[in-house]
């Protein structure tokens, strides 16, 4: 039976997930004693999947440690991070954000009177992101969203796909230095939280495990205390959990290792080089010409376009084999990279 790993940071988030599964039992990690909840979820098509539910606590460091531990122990085919986040733009309390990618906002070099921002990036699995975006526009989700709606927080529940900012601090004021930093360097981010970067950073080293970051908006920057007092965290947790399990009903459960080389290559490049073709100079190192690809788009979108060009016989001197050979030099011993390289 397929096992799906779902991670949350807070207990309120885990409780929202647990309401959707049955026959729950506690599993303790044989080495660390870390507790997980294992249960069954019966999909709309009648098929049953095992759900492994773990709680990581907050901060990207904790999440990275717990994600690594859980992936190594359970070896799932799918892993999701579900929880709440603060809204930055184009969202309201109760909305759901599909984290296409995440930008780490803390890294940089502090100089006298100046901070040189050096962002980190992470990316969700391309096919899961697209499936989630399609589900968000489906009649099935629209009906479910109406049943979840609490008019205290708005007249509808919207789902948006985009970038999530991730750091180690809570952004609680639009006048704070942190908020001004985000406006200057990550103005496109829809939401902010403290776990997504750690989650996707670990997942990127296992690019053929399908991974997706999902967030429910529990507050906006200047109304956190007020929204918390109204029960916004349970509401947001409920909404994102409902979206996740609706998505699970629509996933074609398979083994990504049997997917086409093109799909596998897209996943590998999007996760190992989330900033795009210029990330670590990988495209040019493999013989590629940057001028052939539109670089004014997200890193993931660059790779989708680049691999489409390769599949159509374009790309000049670069090929899928030369690209993977260069990747194998950057990520020595990565099993997913080496296994795909053998197929080239």
Per-residue pLDDT tens over the stretch 49-101: 999 999 999 899 999 999 999 999 999 989 999 999 999 999 999 999 999 99
| Domain chopping of the chain, boundaries | 3-250, 260-343
Contact (CB, 8 A) for 190 and 216: no
Could you give the angle at the alpha carbon of 317 between the alpha carbons of 312 and 323, nearest 5°? 80
Q: Residue 115 has what pLDDT?
A: 67
Using CA atoms, how far apart are residues 256 and 274, in angstroms rounded to an integer? 19
Q: Note the pLDDT of residue 255.
A: 47
> Distance (Å, rounded) from C-alpha 52 to C-alpha 116?
40
Helix, strand, coil abundance in the chain, percent, nearest 5? 40, 25, 35
> What distance in Å separates the CA atoms of residue 235 and residue 242, rounded to the nearest whole number?
11
Query: Which has the closest alpha carbon to 159: 149, 145, 172, 147?
Result: 145
Q: Assess whether pLDDT exceeds 50 at residue 16.
A: yes
Q: What is the mean pLDDT of the chain?
A: 90
Hey, is 164 helix, strand or coil?
Answer: strand
Alpha-carbon gap, residue 71 to 4, rounded angstroms: 10
Q: Which residues does 180 contact at the CB level (< 8 Å), separation at least 6?
A: none
d(CA 125, CA 286): 23
Q: What is the pLDDT of residues 150-188, one digit of tens each?
A: 999 989 999 999 999 998 777 767 777 778 878 887 789
Q: Distances in Å between the alpha carbon of 120 and those of 111, 185, 275, 306?
A: 19, 12, 8, 22
257 band by pLDDT with thresholds 50, 70 and 90: very low
Question: What pLDDT, on the 0 to 100 scale, is given for residue 110?
Answer: 66
- Write down the pLDDT at residue 294: 94
| Domain 3-250: assigned CATH number | 3.40.50.1580
pTM over cut 0.85:
yes
The three-state secondary structure class of 293 is: coil
Question: What phi and psi values does residue 10 have, to the nearest 5 degrees?
Answer: -110, 155
Residues in a beta bridge with 4: 51, 78
């Amino acid at each position: 039976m397929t096992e799906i790993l779902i991670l949350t940071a807070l207990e309120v988030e885990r409780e929202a997930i647990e309401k959707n599964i049955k026959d729950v039992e506690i599993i303790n990690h044989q080495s660390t004693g870390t507790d997980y909840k294992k249960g069954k979820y019966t999909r709309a098509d009648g098929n049953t999947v095992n759900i492994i539910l773990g709680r990581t606590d907050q901060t990207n460091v904790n999440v990275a440690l717990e994600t690594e531990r859980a992936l190594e122990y359970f070896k799932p085919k799918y892993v999701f991070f579900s929880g709440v986040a603060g809204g930055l733009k184009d969202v309201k309390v109760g909305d759901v954000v599909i984290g296409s990618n995440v930008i780490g906002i803390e890294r940089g070099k502090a100089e006298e009177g100046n901070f040189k921002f050096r962002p980190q990036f992470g990316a969700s699995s391309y096919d899961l992101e697209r499936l989630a975006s399609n589900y968000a526009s489906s009649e099935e989700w629209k009906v479910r969203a109406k049943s979840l709606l609490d008019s205290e927080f708005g007249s509808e529940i919207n789902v948006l796909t985009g970038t999530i900012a991730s750091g180690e601090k809570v952004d609680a004021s639009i006048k704070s230095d942190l908020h001004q930093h985000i406006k200057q360097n990550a103005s496109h981010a829809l939401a902010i939280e403290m776990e997504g970067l750690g989650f996707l950073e670990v997942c990127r080293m296992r690019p053929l495990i399908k991974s997706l970051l999902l967030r429910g908006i529990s507050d906006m920057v200047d109304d956190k205390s007020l929204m918390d007092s109204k029960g916004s965290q349970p509401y947001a947790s409920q909404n994102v959990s409902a979206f996740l399990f609706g998505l699970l009903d629509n996933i074609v459960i398979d083994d990504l290792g049997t997917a086409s080389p093109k799909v596998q290559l897209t996943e590998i490049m999007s996760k190992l080089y989330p900033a795009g073709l210029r990330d670590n100079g990988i495209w040019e190192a493999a013989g590629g010409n940057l001028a052939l690809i539109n670089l004014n788009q997200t890193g993931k979108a660059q790779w989708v376009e680049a691999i489409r060009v390769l599949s159509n016989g374009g790309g000049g001197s670069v090929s899928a084999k030369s690209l993977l050979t260069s990747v194998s030099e950057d990520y020595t011993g990565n099993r997913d990279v080496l296994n795909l390289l053998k197929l080239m």
